[in-house]
Every structure is written in C-alpha cells, then in structure tokens.
A and B are shown apart, each in its own frame.
Chain A
C-alpha cells in the first residue's frame, strides 16, 4: 500500500471519497509522521486530539454523503493565524501563552470545507526573517541535507519555515503560510515544494497576526501545483471584516488548471540577472526559459528598471508598519507582562523580554523612519518608489502574461550562515520582494536540484487577480521539471 503521507491532496480526496481510506487513518498516519520528525521543530503546538476529533466528524460526513471540498485533509497552520481555543504565539515570547477567542477567516474557511488541523507551525518571530532562525521556539530544520556527506543542518527558509518543512517532510498534506516579502515562496523553494502568495486582497487578513499590513498576504503550501490550487480555492474570497480584502469573484482555479502555456508571452526581467547570483541559479532559470519555449510560450525580455530599489523600499515600509502594528503588545491586556517600577518601566521590561532581536531591530528602524524630520526622507520616498515599482510591473504586463524568475538567490543554507550581517539575510528576498511591493500573485515551484542535491525553485509572477495564469505557468514548469527528488529522510522511510 502507498504510504498515506505520500499521497497528494487530490489523491487522498479521491481515496476518501471512494472510502478506500478513512480520514482518521489518514490523520493518524500524519500524527505518526509528526512524532517521528519532532527533531525538525516544525510545530510550536501539536493538536492531535483536535485533528482526530475533526477526522471523526469528517468520516461521519463521508458516511452521510455531506463531505466538503477538503473533507478529511490534514493541514498544518502557521502559528500566525489565530485559532479559537488553540494557543497562537506568532513564535514570540510576548504571545507565549495567548489563546485567541476567535478563528481567522482563512482557517474558518478551511474547517468549513472539512479540512482538519494537525497543529500550529513554527515561523520566524512575527514572520520577520528569511531562515526561521528568529523563532522564540527555536530553529526549524530543513528536512533536506546536502548530499556530499556534509551533515550541516540547513534552514527551511522563512518566515513560513515550519510550514515548508512540515509539507516537505510529509508531516502535513498542506499548510497555510503568510508572505510579506517572500515568506511563502522562498521557504517553498528551499524545501522543494510549491507555494503561492495570491494577489494582495485575495485572502482575508482578519485573524492573522499583523506584521506589515499593506504587504501581508495569506497563501498556501502543498507538494504540487494542483494541490495549491485546491487549497487556495478554499481559503480565498472577500471578507467584509477586512477592508483591504477585494470584493471580487474567485475563479475556479482547479477547473482552469490546464498547464497549457501555448501562445503565452512569458517575460524575463533583465534586472533579475544580478551580479553575484550563483551560476546554478542562473542555470535553472535558463532551464525554465527553455521549458517555456518547448511548451509553446514566447519568451519576451522585459525591463523592471526600479528593481534595485525594491529591497531598501521594502525595508522602510515593512518596519514602519511593523513598529505601529506591534505597539499593541504592551503587557496591559494579554500576553507577556513583566512588572516594573512604573508604567514606562513595565512597558520596557515587557517588550525587552517579549521580543527577540530581529523584531526589536525592525521596530527601531520603523520608529526611526516615521519620526518627525525623517518621515519625508524615508517613508514618503519609499511610498513613491513603491508606486514606481508597481508601474514597472504594469508596463511589463502590457507585453507579457506572466514573469519567470528565480525564487531565491541560493539554495537552502546552513543554520548560522548569513547571521553575521542582517543585510545578507535580507538579500534572500531580492527576487520576491518586488512582487510583494506591487501586491502581485507569485508562486514558487521546484525546478531541480543543485550540485549538492538541494532543491531550487522558480518564481512565476502574474498580473493582479490572475492567479489562474500563475497556476498554469507553474504547472507547465512542474510538468517539465518532473521534480521527483525527496529529502533523504522521506526517501528512506518510503523504501
């Protein structure tokens, strides 16, 4: 019998529908996988009891013939999504014991469709990081290892590192993520799986702990493009509780997923061929271009002239919003409180003990750029650049249907590498940040492995609200790449 944890979501739904397997069996198999992979530290909170009781309810609905679109599919939830009655930490000490009394819109939609929750996944603290090394609950390990005998533990990417590691290690069938500057796409690339950040406004932010409101967007991870389409279908849509959520119909992603790119124009932005990008990254990108041509697409060279300003722009806007969004963690109403001599002392002690270094760094940067005398020089200028970056994309989309780029400038690196200089870490997001600033849909799909056997991803960027094209181009890459590599631990288990 096929290992249950190796099934795709589509396969599992088919077997559940035909009653070949039960939701309870499927869930139990994943709970076992979670237990076996605890060393990866992908979960902050495991919820096997909730999962099994939801599985039981799913089995009953299958028996009654009232199964939902995701009935019985076990998912992991990034611990940034508030889950009613289940601790939600944002991987921060300041929310160490916070139990929300409400359920995020995105997770509510999943449960309504019959999916079930295996637990809350680790992440960078408040989603600030690119390696999942800033979590109060410890680093997440990438299930992949270099194939040259080097036993260095590798990062899973960030900030949704728990999500990507859990999906890659077959602990969950799919996972939620959030992407502010690349937090879904880069971890997906590092762990050899698929992940999509839809258009800003496609999924509700209600109940998602905020990092940078104008950039934060929920999305999903799975092991293939089709499963991502299935998951996004469930959680997307207008929410009147989020004023930035778009009141637009959600296309039927799965029905429109043909994988055909015949006659499409695929743009290759020349500014993404940056100095110092590793040869292997350029090679996989060129490979992707060839696949597109082979599949009948036309390749068009385009220019996104303000690309070089994207990272500095992002690292002004995101910290500015973060400095304000995180002001509510003051020890007064919920979360950590460290008593002090007086009010100010209590604030200082609480926030000093509650936040980690990266979060503090961004709060300080954000406070600085919004300060009197600096606001125009930093924040206002960054907003203007953001508009120019958006215009770059819109100009390109007059000529092309989608853009193809690398997802990240390297494969997964070792834990501790890039930690000496925050700027080095920020450079991980160089290919993903422009798309975030423009609010566009972006997806990463695994395209191959590097010389050390580590997965590399390609990024597909689409027009606003055109996730359909993003999925189709991604599917075409996936088909051509025929990516079958798996982390060593998964391979040995399957054997």
Chain B
C-alpha cells in the first residue's frame, strides 16, 4: 500500500535517497596512526598528518580498507578491485589540508541491496548505489567565545564510509527502517558502532515529490539529519514544504538545505549556483588501491551471519514468529544471548522470557544486555526448573526478580527460600480440606451451581500453600473434592 500525502491538487508521493556517513570502527585513522577514541580532550588525537603540517604524507590504513570491503560484502554489493582516492578541494578551518581525501569516480564498493522490514510485516529491497571511503573533517566550535571559533582536530582524518542509497525509499517509515537495518548490519559486521548521538553515523536526506507514476521531481538535499527521529521529522517537514511550493505554482530549486532540530524545520544553505566546485582530482600522494581476489575471499570467509539470515533461521529452526525473531535479531548480542539460553531447551519459552521478562526489566532498570545481572546460562537454569515442574511459572517470576537483584542462580534462590513446588497430593489435600472447612457457605454455593467460585478456592489454596502448590495438582484435587 503506497504511502501518499493528500494535497489540494491530489495525492503526492515522496522519492527519497539517503547518504549515510558511517565512521569505520578502527583503532587508528584512515591515513595516520592517531587514535580515534570518542570523547577525548580536544586536539589530543592529532598527528602531524592530521594537522596537515608541511611535507606530511598520507599512508593508507589497511584495516580500514578491509572494513570497507567487509561492509560491501555485508550489503550484498560488488567490491571493486580497483579504486582511486581523489582530493575534494574546499576551504574550511576544520579541514586542515584544504581538501578531503575521498573516492569519487572509482569507489571501493559498487551496487548492492538492503532488505528492510516494514511495520506491517512486509519487506522491501532498497538499492545501494555505492560505498566509498573518505576522511572525516575536524569539528568547529562556535559557542565558546563571543568572537572566536575553536577547532578540534580529534576527528580530522578518521575513516568514514559514505553509503549512498538509490532513490527507492517512499515514506518516512521506509527511511527509518532503512537506517535501522543498515545500522544493524554495520553493527553485526563490526565495521561501525552506529552511535548516531556520538556522530559515528550521520545522515543526509535527498527528497523530491511527484504525482504517483510521474517522473522524478527536482530534489533537495537535507544535511545535518543526525538521529532516526530527525530523519522522520525532516522528511515530513520537507515533504510538506515542497508540496506547498508546488501546489502554489512554484518550482523546487535544486539546493542544499539544513535541518534545524531546535526549530524543527529545514532551511536553505546554498543553491545549486552557489554549490562548491570541489575540483576533484586523483590524489598524487596515493597510488590507486588494488585488491586481490584472495583478500576479498579471506574477508568473505570471516563474515558473520547477517541479521536477515539469522531472522529466517530463528523462524525456521525455533518456530518463532516474525515479530519475535525480528526483535531478537535486532542486536547481535541479543540474538547470541537468546541462542545460548535456548540451547537444548524450549526455544519459544526462552524467547518469551528474553523478550518479555529480561528485556522489560533491563529497560526499566536503564541497563543493556551487556550489563545484565542474569547471564544466558542462568536464565536457562531458571527455565529448566519451570520445565521440570520444580517451580511454577508464577513463582519463576519471583525467582527471576530475585536473580536480577542478586545475580545468583535460580537453584540457589529456590533452595534458600524453600520455593520448591509442592506436588505431594496428601499435603495439598490437607490444605484443601482446611480451606473448605473455613468456608462452608462458599462450598454450599459452589455445589448449588455457582461454578465461578472455583477460582476463589484455587486462590485460597495457593495462598495458604505460599504459592508453592503445583497448580495442576491443586486443580485436579480441588475439583474432585468439591464435586465429590
């Protein structure tokens, strides 16, 4: 079902392409040995190369190249064995060389595809145009002094992948799903940490409007869209703006616009006429990059199972629903936790525990899976006690809460607190007898036809047994005593 916006002149369809800048996870920068830790003191991760001192030369970081290849393979894309670093020339204080080393005519990765999952349970393929490697710029700081600006070069020269999508996206939901899936893939691959709030993943949105079936309209590029929520808001705003212009007889000018998250609007940065002439040319300090088949094969052999494969396997092997499988594979760590807890156990039961109890509680406590007090092994131990009827599902919730507080095993809590389920029929019968003796009127009413009172008796028996009585046994015995 196409996502259309109703305007005064009829329906409008959005055409969206995204450019995502993803910082490559690596210990050092693309062309220098400087560290790349986020949040370090300003200008402490800057080599002579990063500061563009006279006579300094770039040396390509092989690990970053491998990360880009790994990403290309993860995006089902063609890896180009020949690629070229070029200089993109422009002046800015946080661009020390006066040019950014990037790839232009010959990127390292060509066409690929990403499958996105939509809220209605369907999937859609979004094409990848290309992926190229480039240097990041430093950071200008304008709010520390009334008249001066400051420059922090820590990020200068860090390795980025620019991942460009085809204009295949048709709604804010698809855009969100695309970024979410892309980030998931990068995290699975370990090639980008995907932390948008730390700036290690940033997004530019290209958007145009058209009447359904019409050719593409003129697009605007929106920069500085740096969270998933912002992508959605920027698209909504820009779509409305363009419709208004078009419906009032205006034309969209091709331009670069800036998303202002504070005001929730996009505004013009520079027109096509004012666009920089970047004067790209091959960087004479670097030879063309050539990759061998062996290197590509070696990287391919070490690729992890990717989210979509994992999702389908979880559905097939464990009989999980699309939704449950989707939530479990959203993070590689979560999927691993589930698989390790589910090993040799009832997988659906495990999935329920991970999804409903564990993730719910962690979320409430503001914790992530990596600092969960309950390990996968211990969660498995708890599920074992449910399976062998040592405790009931209800008691298990109490035990779990205790495990989250103390970090100990289910068994030790069950032993210490004497929570072992009572299955001894004699003991249960004694409790039933005393409950019936205490409530003669209720017994009479039940026997007179008030079937609904059965639940009352179950509750009383469970209460009196401290919850330890086996619910199935209570049901059976109670039924025969009341009816008898």
Query: Could you list which residues of chain A lie within 8 angstroms of chain B, going by C-beta atoms?
Result: 81-82, 88, 90, 95, 98, 100-102, 104, 205-210, 212-214, 240-244, 320-321, 323-324, 326-328, 330, 332-334, 343, 347, 367, 370-372, 375, 379
Mark contacts of B13-53 with chain A using CB atoms, 8 A cut-off: 1 yes-contact digit, 0 otherwise: 00000000000000000000000000000000000100111
Complex A-B: 12 CB contacts under 8 Å: A88-B54, A90-B54, A101-B48, A208-B55, A213-B284, A214-B284, A321-B284, A328-B52, A333-B96, A371-B279, A372-B279, A379-B281
Q: How large is the interface on B (under 10, 10 to 19, 20 to 34, 35 or more residues)?
A: 20 to 34
Tell me whether B57 and A242 are in contact (CB under 8 A).
Answer: yes
Tell me whether B96 and A328 are in contact (CB under 8 A).
Answer: yes
Query: Could you list which residues of chain B lie within 8 angstroms of chain A, going by C-beta atoms?
Result: 48, 51-60, 87, 89, 91, 93, 96-99, 149, 151, 277, 279-281, 284-287
Q: How far is the CB of A235 from chain B (nearest CB, A)?
A: 15
Contact check: which of A82, A324, A330 meets B55 at CB < 8 Å?
A82
A205-B58 Cα distance, complex, nearest whole Å: 11
Q: A82-B54, A371-B277 are in contact. Are A324 and B99 (CB under 8 A)?
A: yes
Chain A residues positioned under 8 Å from B53 (CB to CB): 82, 100-102, 334
Chain A residues positioned under 8 Å from B60 (CB to CB): 243
In the complex, residue of chain A having the shortest beta-carbon distance to the beta carbon of B140: A343
Tell me whether B54 and A100 are in contact (CB under 8 A).
Answer: yes
Q: Total contacts A to B, CB within 8 angstroms?
A: 95
Since A243-B60, A333-B96 are in contact, a sample of 9 more A-B pairs with Cβ atoms closer than 8 Å, ordered by chain A residue number, is A208-B55, A209-B55, A213-B284, A241-B57, A327-B98, A328-B97, A328-B98, A347-B91, A370-B89
Tell me whether A370 and B279 are in contact (CB under 8 A).
Answer: yes
Tell me whether B89 and A324 are in contact (CB under 8 A).
Answer: yes
Q: How far is the CB of B220 from chain A (nearest CB, A)?
A: 21
Tell me whether B287 and A243 are in contact (CB under 8 A).
Answer: yes
Shortest 3 CB-CB distances between A and B: which pairs? A327-B98, A370-B279, A213-B284
Q: A213-B285, A370-B281 are in contact. Are A206 and B55 (CB under 8 A)?
A: yes
Q: A324-B98, A327-B98, A347-B91 are in contact. Are A244 and B55 (CB under 8 A)?
A: no
Chain A residues positioned under 8 Å from B285 (CB to CB): 210, 213, 243-244
In the complex, residue of chain B having the shortest beta-carbon distance to the beta carbon of A245: B57
A221-B112 Cα distance, complex, nearest whole Å: 55
A82-B57 Cα distance, complex, nearest whole Å: 13
Q: How far is the CB of A448 from chain B (nearest CB, A)?
A: 37
Tell me whether B97 and A95 are in contact (CB under 8 A).
Answer: no
Q: Is the interface of B mostly helix, strand, loop or mixed?
A: loop
Q: A327-B97, A343-B93 are in contact. Are A372 and B277 (CB under 8 A)?
A: yes
Chain B residues positioned under 8 Å from A95 (CB to CB): 54
Chain B residues positioned under 8 Å from A379 (CB to CB): 281
Q: How far is the CB of B145 from chain A (nearest CB, A)?
A: 14
Chain B residues positioned under 8 Å from A323 (CB to CB): 89, 279
Q: How far is the CB of A242 from chain B (nearest CB, A)?
A: 5
Tell me whether A98 and B54 are in contact (CB under 8 A).
Answer: yes
A213-B101 Cα distance, complex, nearest whole Å: 14
Tell me whether B58 and A243 are in contact (CB under 8 A).
Answer: yes
A347-B51 Cα distance, complex, nearest whole Å: 17
Chain A residues positioned under 8 Å from B98 (CB to CB): 324, 326-328, 330
A107-B55 Cα distance, complex, nearest whole Å: 13
Q: A320-B281, A371-B279 are in contact. Are A327 and B59 (CB under 8 A)?
A: no
Contact check: which of A104, A209, A243, A372 meets B286 at CB < 8 Å?
A243
Residue from A244, A333, A379 whose CB has the most chain B CB atoms within 10 Å: A333
Q: A213-B285, A244-B287, A367-B279 are in contact. Are A327 and B54 (CB under 8 A)?
A: no
Chain B residues positioned under 8 Å from A321 (CB to CB): 284
Residue from A205, A244, A324, A334 whose CB has the most chain B CB atoms within 10 Å: A324
A100-B52 Cα distance, complex, nearest whole Å: 12
Contact check: which of B54, B277, B284, B287 meets A328 at CB < 8 Å?
B54
Chain B residues positioned under 8 Å from A333 (CB to CB): 51-52, 96, 151
In the complex, residue of chain B having the shortest beta-carbon distance to the beta carbon of A213: B284
Tell me whether B55 and A375 are in contact (CB under 8 A).
Answer: no
In the complex, residue of chain B having the shortest beta-carbon distance to the beta carbon of A98: B54
Chain A residues positioned under 8 Å from B57 (CB to CB): 205-206, 241-243
Q: How far is the CB of A79 from chain B (nearest CB, A)?
A: 11
A365-B52 Cα distance, complex, nearest whole Å: 23
A241-B47 Cα distance, complex, nearest whole Å: 13
Contact check: which of A98, A214, A244, A324 meets B279 at CB < 8 Å?
A324
Chain A residues positioned under 8 Å from B279 (CB to CB): 323-324, 367, 370-372, 375
Residue from B51, B56, B287 whose CB has the most chain A CB atoms within 10 Å: B56
Residue from B48, B96, B284, B285 whose CB has the most chain A CB atoms within 10 Å: B284
Q: How far is the CB of B379 from chain A (nearest CB, A)?
A: 50
Tell me whether B281 and A324 are in contact (CB under 8 A).
Answer: yes
Chain B residues positioned under 8 Å from A82 (CB to CB): 53-55
Chain B residues positioned under 8 Å from A320 (CB to CB): 281
Q: How far is the CB of A251 from chain B (nearest CB, A)?
A: 23
Chain A residues positioned under 8 Å from B281 (CB to CB): 320, 324, 370, 375, 379
In the complex, residue of chain B having the shortest beta-carbon distance to the beta carbon of A94: B54
Q: How far is the CB of A136 from chain B (nearest CB, A)?
A: 15
In the complex, residue of chain B having the shortest beta-carbon distance to the beta carbon of A343: B93
A320-B284 Cα distance, complex, nearest whole Å: 11
Tell me whether B151 and A332 are in contact (CB under 8 A).
Answer: yes
Tell me whether A327 and B99 are in contact (CB under 8 A).
Answer: yes
A324-B58 Cα distance, complex, nearest whole Å: 14
Chain A residues positioned under 8 Å from B87 (CB to CB): 324
In the complex, residue of chain B having the shortest beta-carbon distance to the beta carbon of A80: B55
Chain B residues positioned under 8 Å from A100 (CB to CB): 53-55
A90-B56 Cα distance, complex, nearest whole Å: 14
Tell me whether B89 and A327 are in contact (CB under 8 A).
Answer: yes
Q: How far is the CB of B278 from chain A (nearest CB, A)?
A: 9
Residue from B57, B89, B96 whose CB has the most chain A CB atoms within 10 Å: B57
Q: How far is the CB of A378 from chain B (nearest CB, A)?
A: 11
Residue from A101, A330, A343 whose CB has the most chain B CB atoms within 10 Å: A330
Contact check: which of B55, B91, B99, B287 meets A210 at CB < 8 Å?
B55
A126-B140 Cα distance, complex, nearest whole Å: 29
Chain A residues positioned under 8 Å from B48 (CB to CB): 101-102
Chain A residues positioned under 8 Å from B52 (CB to CB): 328, 333
Tell me whether A243 and B97 are in contact (CB under 8 A).
Answer: no
Chain A residues positioned under 8 Å from B59 (CB to CB): 240-241, 243
Q: How far is the CB of A156 from chain B (nearest CB, A)?
A: 24
A333-B97 Cα distance, complex, nearest whole Å: 11
Tell me whether B55 and A104 are in contact (CB under 8 A).
Answer: yes
Tell me whether A209 and B287 are in contact (CB under 8 A).
Answer: no
Q: How far is the CB of A321 from chain B (nearest CB, A)?
A: 6
Residue from A206, A210, A321, A327 whose CB has the most chain B CB atoms within 10 Å: A327
A327-B52 Cα distance, complex, nearest whole Å: 10
A349-B56 Cα distance, complex, nearest whole Å: 25
Tell me whether A209 and B54 are in contact (CB under 8 A).
Answer: yes
Chain B residues positioned under 8 Å from A88 (CB to CB): 54
A326-B51 Cα distance, complex, nearest whole Å: 14
A323-B89 Cα distance, complex, nearest whole Å: 9
Q: How far is the CB of A341 from chain B (nearest CB, A)?
A: 11
A343-B99 Cα distance, complex, nearest whole Å: 17
A321-B286 Cα distance, complex, nearest whole Å: 13
Q: How far is the CB of B364 from chain A (nearest CB, A)?
A: 49
Q: How far is the CB of B482 from chain A (nearest CB, A)?
A: 88
Chain B residues positioned under 8 Å from A209 (CB to CB): 54-55
Chain B residues positioned under 8 Å from A240 (CB to CB): 59
Residue from B48, B89, B279 whose CB has the most chain A CB atoms within 10 Å: B279
Chain B residues positioned under 8 Å from A243 (CB to CB): 57-60, 285-287
Q: How far is the CB of B235 from chain A (nearest CB, A)?
A: 30
Chain B residues positioned under 8 Å from A213 (CB to CB): 284-285
Tell me whether A327 and B286 are in contact (CB under 8 A).
Answer: no
A102-B51 Cα distance, complex, nearest whole Å: 13
A242-B98 Cα distance, complex, nearest whole Å: 20
A241-B151 Cα distance, complex, nearest whole Å: 26
Chain B residues positioned under 8 Å from A101 (CB to CB): 48, 53
